[in-house]
Structure 1
């Protein structure tokens, strides 16, 4: 950071850790400015629990209806109501408190949304009425025969519409009880009427996805609010963090690509990346981390890093094992000048085959020449490839056996190959040896 501040430039260059270095010890323990800016702007969900306390991010799980409670709130005027019936959610809950909890099965608005059927009262002997559903299961004819409802035939997979009273008692009713139990609805009883038969259902076993507070009470329709994270509420620089930019900074990119650890110390991947330019090091580091990637293949695959689109022919330019390793390591991130969909921007599949063939026999270069791929393109990729090998050879040492073997392999191939560039240049012409006159002549 101090070096960046001393650069001779009209526009300051920020790494995205300037404020974090000035205030290193914070409750959130985040190390970059962008992470802190995003964290402080992120709202956390809270619910008012059964004891009138605010819980952070309660666990949402499936709970049977018979264990779910509904909080009833009361304001200072003594008015009680359910939270979901408030038209305008109050910004401040200081005027509200929990009056009491009641079973979810005692709230008609909740039970009416559970399955088909008409709302009915199952039990009115307790403090609250317990509601359920009633369904018409069959019609009874004058001759005693029973006509099954369509939903009964579908549920029990019964083919005929008309059954006798004996079959209804011995076969149809047990099937209805079994199928309803599988759905979480318990058959309380069958109501025999003069011309119809109804089934009374209790949905107490049916599950709902509801939050559970710290006291183990499952709540439906609890008061909800969104506040700043708990660590920000006790931090003395929260106002400073609110002014920071959420734009991804350099240091945050390093963290995202795992080039540095949480303390800002370069990782092994980060050190390998620093040995190369642009996205080349990212690809090499990702490939070296794969122990199953043979170094003999990797040394030639490096030619793809600057191949572009000319060498892939009819194949997919972004294919190849090195590209797959980049996707595994970096996903599909786009970083200008470094990665395009997780792969170095100048990458192109197909150059490794040509480089390998030319390495075995230099005269094989011309058999790869086509109308689209010229001899100059092949010379260029060999020069680029050898340049990457020299960067590898002259890079600092690492205490990593795979890196040591990779450098030795680069040295061996450099000794076996030659650059296609001219070494013995022709002599200069007479005009080229004369002094250059840069005078501007006006005509």
Structure 2
């Protein structure tokens, strides 16, 4: 049976529950390679002939293990997500849709009738079953709810193609407006596609219709949108929050361009005005502390009595006065017995030494010295998005665009460009000038598909946006919502989009000023992939290894598109192409697909279930 569940977690939970409650059958024997690819949890389910199937599984697990076993009839139950209904590449004897609701990004949607038909159509395996069965649950989808989709032409025009034709006409000295109209006439549409040149060109020269973003910005305090960013432990810029108090032992400092544990550097404790630096541990992996003299041995005492050094005695009296005033007289003595002195003085060392904790007493000739550790000392630092405490991180000041509830919602920043003609929308986005000639932004936009070209074009206009930072931020363009938890600060790519487009909506291209499919956090994850890969999928409710794999593929695909993009005499564009080539290779060739585990002969025929007798 193939079951469709609304969400990944529901699919996995349902698969585990079915594996426990279904009658026990002959276990599916996996090869060592299949076990290695599937992992411990999925292998245990597969042995019970149950599996889950969703886009969070990486390619090898999904297409190399689960799907082949389902196709040959080796699995009794597969639970897939409704969002992947069209991507399920196998059929089973029976199908059950447990819920019509599913999630994409921040929205909840109901399965369309054609999507239901696609799912129900998985019932019955060609060549294996004479008929398929559709199982229905109370108040859930039925076969009568499913019907084919009526095809119609999309209302979204291919803007990049139109602008590319206009630019080619300008270069060739031809009429660019007529070139765009000619392409629109050749589109497969029963209705005439109107671009809006006739109604718009004369109005573009009117001052009232020119972009008035500068006017709206004058009404705002420029200092209000200024924020301070810090470079975090992954080397990325994020908004700096308030300082917090933390243990010095978990704090990091920047040394030679790398974040290292603060106490691995002797200079970290340079402001402690007592004693001298000392080292704990091995030379290769040091932890630094302080060593201070506190007493000298009495002559003729055989090491049984010590006299406190004047400077230490003064600090001790001050510490006792602050922490235990009633014991002030007791600790005013000069001479002490050596035995048990550690226990008597231990509690006062943090107050004496700015947070140091007594590790041991050592003898240096006739001087008794204390070695102090500072892992538990308190320090003020900034916690970054990864939870690391940073001391004195590099800072920069930048501008953020905020969606204030007190701003007019009918202003230009929040305009829905879907209400404009294509030419008016192009002008509002800065893709053409007053004469409808494509601008440099429009030309770069025409190299791409949909809204990602808008983001890349405006990012290249910001001369202070480092290209080596931009090339990684491009991973956010096709990432979607699942990486959002790893980005507690908006990337600079999102910032330049909001500065250029405000919070405009443009069907097929922008939503809230950002390209469709844009998602924060993917760039940070891809730059620190090892940190994510070292953790189990079980630690993340919404992000799985398959998401990381897919984000990496989409990012490299976009880089390959840039690397092989058209030649343009623009330093920033050529620099971005150079950065892309360095990451994907000069030829940007596709990588070979991984080899699937080989299926033994026992798994190539259909399994006939028969309960195992106790």
Length-normalised TM-score, structure 1:
0.43
Larger radius of gyration: 1
Length-normalised TM-score, structure 2:
0.31
